[in-house]
Amino acid sequence: MAEATPRPTLEVTGPNLLEFFAGKAKNVLSPIAEGIAETVGKGTRQLLGQPRPQDQELVSPLTQEQPESIQSRAVSMAQELLGGEKETEPITPFDDALRESFGDDFDDAIRVLGGENAQFDPEAENTSNSDGSVDRGVFQINSIHFSESEFNRRKEKMAAAGIDVSSPEAAWEDMFDPAKNIAMARIIFDEQGWDGWIGAPRDLLSDEEIERREGKGIGIRE
């Protein structure tokens, strides 16, 4: 990694604060936001330039605050006023892993999870399958994927995803790990789409899978 070039030290206080912000705003805000900054800035200049004695306690913290902090707060406020992007709350405890594995399919993955494991419980297990198989973890990965033949078929992909491939049992145990469970879900998704999940809504299923389920009387989420 190349050595980073030191950033210059900024020293901006008192009445110069408006000029500092106005200059930085041109680089990061739209013309509308610049207008907001200019309008608000007029009042700020008056307040910082000629504070009344009774306002001194209010003004002092502003003049002592680091300009980078003031700029950051002002930009955030302007973006919010203009309807810009806002920091959103996480949907699941595993959003980063979901985005890393599913990328543009993140929203669809969330929808499927809503039908499979709405509590996002990484230790969830379903042992009520009629064929005796078990569903485990965040994406309720089925134990059939860890039969000897299925394990060997996907072993290389599973190893690349960080799953323990020392044995089928070890890989199956890893399905309690949220990130590895999600990575396994991606491997299955690449082969089957969302057809492998009973909780997937109709619009994410293939026509063939819809026909198969309807023929067997298997319910489909709408």
* Whether residue 186 has pLDDT greater than 70: yes
pLDDT tens-digit map of 63-99 = 454 555 555 666 666 666 666 555 678 999 999 999 9
The mean pLDDT of 101-110, rounded to a whole number, is 98
pLDDT score for 89: 87
Taking the CB of residue 150, how many other CB atoms lie within 10 A of it? Answer: 14
Q: What is the mean pLDDT of the chain?
A: 79
Hey, which residues does 90 pair with through a beta bridge? none
pLDDT band at residue 2 under the 50/70/90 scheme:
very low
Look at 179 and 85; give whichever has higher pLDDT: 179
> Which of these, 67, 70, 75, 68, lies nearest to 26 by C-alpha position?
75
Give the pTM. Answer: 0.63
pLDDT tens-digit map of 7-16 = 444 444 444 5
pLDDT score for 88: 75
pLDDT tens-digit map of 126-137 = 999 999 999 999
Q: Using CA atoms, how far apart are residues 99 and 209, in angstroms rounded to an integer?
A: 26
Q: Where in the chain is the domain with CATH 1.10.530.10?
A: 95-216
Burial class (CB in 10 A: 0-12, 13-18, 19+), 140: buried
- CB-based contacts of 107, cutoff 8 Å, min separation 6: none
* Whether residue 103 has pLDDT greater than 50: yes
pLDDT band at residue 5 under the 50/70/90 scheme:
very low
pLDDT tens-digit map of 139-171 = 999 999 999 999 999 999 999 999 999 999 999
Q: Using CA atoms, how far apart are residues 86 and 74, in angstroms rounded to an integer?
A: 14
Q: What fold is seen in the domain 95-216?
A: Lysozyme (1.10.530)
